[in-house]
Amino acid sequence: MRNLDRGLLIAIDELILRDSFLKQHSQSIRAVVGNGVHGADAALIDLLPNLEIIASHSSGLDKIDLVKCQERGIRVTYAPGSSAEEVADLAILLAMATLRRICEADRFVRSGEWKKRDFRLTSKFSGKSVGIVGLGRIGSAIAKRAAAFGCPISYHSRSEKKDSCYKYYPKVIDLAANSQILMLSCALTSETRHIINREVIDSLGPEGVLINIARGPLIDEPELVSALLEGRLAGAGLDVLENEPDVPEQFIELDNVVLSPHVGACTVETRKLLADVVIANLEAHFLKKPLLTPVI
């Protein structure tokens, strides 16, 4: 409870500082820079009467109220594809770490257990069927990497990609039923929220592994927890959670879950590239030039 109270106090202090800053400077703020965690909701936008542009260095737009921006005539830019390679790298890493139980193996060695017994057998990644939910820039980068490991690739998206050589499933539940590893790389929308529910998880099955490098709310988290506890799913690799940074206690205790703190795009190289995209869009806006990556 002590750590929880400290975290709550820090959050409250941050809110007080934010509100104080906005009260002092709300009239002069003309631009907001966002990311995959912090954007601009309707409440923030309403506090900024002279806001002209929101420049996000994320490829996702779920943290920005686009309807409100359209109503106010506020420009919005994002960074599509800038982090696709790094995020795809992490997706493969999470899959391998989950199947080979790398985190558990690390603890096994550090604790001295290796001196007492052999480590358990694990499962390989190569050759396993990989299903990808969302075959955009990141999904395509994941497919390219997985294919190099001899993995058959299939996918689900809003519509079939005519130029894709991978097998298409119109329903995500059918994709899960025909995959050993299910990877999520789609955008979070009202249609995709909890797209991974109990039925999809059960279709993936007790030997299946779920990987999420997109957005936490794509998964019905309590259903994922129960499936892992009950053995209806073999494992999960999660870079994102439904209520970040809050982590379900069960995830902490489970050896078949690999967790990372939403760091798919957190490399020095990508952060510099994303910053360049944001700055270029802001410069273009204030110099009254065409935006580089406009959404609105």
CA proximity to 80, closest of 284, 278, 283, 286: 278
Q: Is the CB of residue 237 less than 8 Å from the CB of residue 94?
A: yes
Beta strands in 143-185 (DSSP E): 153-156, 167-168, 181-184
First to last CA, the chain: 44
- The first and second tokens of residue 204, run together, are 């993936």
Beta strands in the chain (DSSP E): 31-34, 53-56, 75-77, 130-133, 153-156, 167-168, 181-184, 209-212, 235-238, 257-259
Q: Is the CB of residue 98 less than 8 Å from the CB of residue 255?
A: no
> Does the active-site annotation cover 215?
yes
- CA atoms within 13 Å, Cβ hemisphere of 165: 4
Per the residue annotation, which of 193, 194, 244, 271 is the catalytic one? 244
> Does the active-site annotation cover 14?
no
Q: How many residues does the chain have?
A: 296
> Does the active-site annotation cover 244?
yes
Per the residue annotation, which of 215, 221, 223, 285 is the catalytic one? 215
Per the residue annotation, which of 57, 137, 145, 262 is the catalytic one? 262
Q: Point out the residues that are catalytic.
A: 215, 244, 262
